[in-house]
Structure 1
């Protein structure tokens, strides 16, 4: 395929040739160039890497359903209980909701997805199986990794471990964990189980860490200790971690250096809490950072609309980014930053100026979007989008081409 007249990362007008799922050439735009094979008129739009949503809960979505009043209370356990009380009563069956949400994400430019699937004594494997079904339905349109997730903890309810192991045995891509101190109240036992199961089934680890201040730092250090001792460098991600930068400067520097040394990545969902580790410092040190939407208008929160360009705006906003380079860095995190977490062979971002993903030999995971500059595209969040996965167009005009009707 030849994509003509596009502006990679907002640069000069170019023609981009794709072959066998990768970018084969990027050359200055020539209006008279005759394409070999398929042709796509870029119409002067921006060309950016496709989005990577590396923290989403497809299994709890209410996207496409009537808007409902938020009924959850404060705290993880209260929110989880609210989800348990309501998820079975939604207006459409769970597999339909999950598939519809994934479809909407792809239509808006996300072709790399890391989704959690809740597994516990309440839902058993039902939510996990719904996410797997959606993954298989859209296997030609997006790459989806599924993380088995003990939302209710591992130790609080008898039988949880058995369900977790059943999902891993069935082929889950990663083992999840959550708040080792504050939820299960036995951080050593919780993390030992997480790492034991991950090693047994040779999968990555992704731990939700909502814990603030010194408690959060303590849990992060326990995760790092096990990562080093068990040789799991490059296979561990910490999600949220929005309290790790609020203790003191020396602790912040130590954690950044530790994460970089062990290749422990960090996924943020751009929360209102701003005591997280400094993003630019993490990038400069070599810490992989990805972005995710978290819930999608679910029983936890009314936020989330399947659009990672919106979430990129939010990441820029909560960090106070006004400089074009920093806004561009937020977009690089939302695209190639997350991609480097899903596939550690993809190089991590090297600086706030790094704009990878559109060079010769890079995977043809691309989005064409209207905008004057990268910063303006983040601010305006245009809807004129064409999505390319593995070198072929999978969505256009906010519609996935493989499905007859939009969700």
Structure 2
């Protein structure tokens, strides 16, 4: 494939040659189409190749949504009033009381949500699949079916997730283990102190199952202040003791910056040392660890949309470009380079969590993902600059996965 006239990260216009699913060559774009755009190519630059006209749009890496709940989505369904009670347990019960009565079946709305995400530029997804004594493996099966349906359009990792806790309801552990036997990619945990109220046992089960099935770990952490720091320190202790460096992610963790500057600095240093990743959903919280300090320390940080207009929240629309705007806004980013950094987190930051073959961001000025040798998972999108693209969030989008166009104009193309 030859992609003409695109601007990597807003730079000067170039032409990209795609071979074997990767960027094989980059040359300056020449307006004269008869000019030798890419030299040394038999039969001329376009011979036997699909040609994509970038029309001067930006090209950036495709998005990586590393924290989404495909199984609870109401995308595409009529809007309903929010009925959730405060707190994790209350919200979970609201979902439990309503998910079976949605206007269409769970497999259809799960797959439909993934389709809308791909159409808007997301080609890497880490989705939670709730597993508990209520839904058993029904939600896991729906996410697995969506993954298989769109296997040619996106990479999807599935996390088996004890949304209702591990210890509160008998039979949960056996269901979690069965989902791992059936191919879950990541073992989930949630609020080991506040929800299950036995953090040692909770984490013993999470780390034990992860070790047994050789999968990574991702722990939801909503716990406040010193309690959140306490649970985090237990996670770090186990990561170190079990040699699971590079295999653990903390999601949310938006209270870890609330205790003291010294504690924040110590946690960031340990995250970097143990290669513990952070997944944020860009909450409107003031006590988060600094996104800039995390990146500069070498911590892998990715972005996700969390719920999608579901029984937990009316927010979410499948568009990671919108969530990138939110990440910049909630971090009070105004300078162009920081807004660009938010996009780097939303794209290659998340990619580095899903695959450690992808290098972590080297700093706030790192703009990876569109160089020779990089995988051709790309988003071509309208905009004057990267910052203006994040602000305007245009709809003129072309999405590539593994060097193939998978979506155009906010619609997914057939395989």
- Shorter-chain-normalised TM-score: which range? over 0.9
Partner of 1:24: 24
Q: Aligned to 1:94, which of 89, 95, 106? A: 106
Distance, in Å, in 1 between the alignment partners of 2:211 and 2:372 is 36
Q: Deviations over 1:121-153 (max 9, x none)?
A: 000000000000000000000000000000000
What is the alpha-carbon distance in structure 2 between the residues aligned to residue 372 and residue 307 of structure 1? 20
CA distance in 1, matches of 2:362, 2:406: 30
Q: How far apart in 1 are the matches of 2:165 and 2:197?
A: 10
The aligned runs of 1:251-270 (5 Å cut-off) are 251-270=263-282
1:267 is displaced (CA, Å) by 0.2
In 1: Cα distance, 2:357 partner to 2:7 partner: 26
Q: Offset at 1:118?
A: 0.1
1:77 paired to 2:97: no
Aligned equivalent of 1:161 = 173
What secondary structure does 2:407 align onto? Answer: strand
Q: Runs ≥4 in structure 1, deviation > 6 angstroms?
A: none
What per-residue deviation string (whole Å, max 9, x for no partner) do you get for residues 188-243 of structure 1?
A: 00000000000000000000000111100111110000001101000000000000
Task: Identify the residue that residue 208 of structure 1 maps to in structure 2.
Answer: 220
1:108 aligns with 2:149: no
Q: Tell me which residue corresponds to 1:402.
A: 414
Distance of 2:366 and 2:121 partners within structure 1:
21
Q: Report the equivalent of 2:289.
A: 277
Rounded to whole Å, the distance in 2 between the matches of 1:247 and 1:25 is 49
In the TM superposition, 1:337-348 aligns within 5 A as: 337-348=349-360
Distance 2:54 2:122 in 1: 19
Match of 1:324 among 330, 336, 339: 336
1:54-96: CA deviation from partner (whole Å, max 9, x where unpaired): 0000000000000000000110000000000000000000000
SS, match of residue 199 in structure 1: helix
Q: Which residue of 1 aligns with 2:397?
A: 385
Superposed displacement of residue 35, structure 1: 2.0
2: CA distance between counterparts of 1:203 and 1:122?
Answer: 24
- State the alpha-carbon separation in 2 of the partners of residues 211 and 350 from structure 1: 29
**RMSD of aligned C-alpha atoms?**
0.7
Give the structure 1 partner of residue 231 of structure 2: 219
TM (normalized to structure 1)?
A: 0.98
**Counterpart in 2 of 1:5?**
5
Aligned residue pairs, count: 403
Question: What residue number does 1:38 align with?
Answer: 50
User: For 2:103 and 2:171, how far apart are their aligned partners in 1?
Assistant: 30
Q: Which runs of 5 or more structure 1 residues have no equivalent in the other structure?
A: none
1:251-285 Cα shifts (integer Å, max 9, x gaps): 00000000000000000000011211101111111
Deviations 1:16-69 (A, max 9, x none): 110000010111002323424110000000000000000000000000000000
Q: Secondary structure at the match of 1:244?
A: coil
**SS of residue paired to 1:325:** helix
State the distance in 1 between where 2:23 and 2:191 align. Answer: 41
In 2, Cα distance between equivalents of 1:265 and 1:382: 30
> Paired residue for 2:204?
192
Query: What SS class does the counterpart of residue 376 from structure 1 fall into?
Result: helix
1:144-155 to 2 correspondence within 5 Å? 144-155=156-167
Quick check: 268-277 or 323-332, which moved more? 268-277
**Using the alignment, how far apart are the partners of 1:274 and 1:361 within structure 2?**
39
Match of 2:62 in 1: 50
SS in 1 for 2:152: coil
Partner of 2:71: 59
Deviation at 1:341, TM superposition (A): 0.1
Query: 1:123 maps to what in 2?
Result: 135
**Which residue of 266, 291, 296 maps to 2:308?**
296
- Structure 1 position 231 matched with structure 2 position 239: no
1:14 is matched with 14
In the alignment, the residues of structure 1 paired with residue 252 and residue 120 of structure 2 have an alpha-carbon distance, to the nearest angstrom, of 23
Whole-Å separation in 2 of the counterparts to 1:350 and 1:255: 19
SS at match of 1:344: coil
Unaligned stretches of 5+ residues in structure 2: 38-44
Offset, 1:345: 1.4
Following superposition, the deviation at residue 163 of structure 1 comes to 0.3
Aligned-partner Cα distance in 1 for 2:110–2:96:
16
Alpha-carbon distance in structure 2 between the residues aligned to 1:26 and 1:245: 42
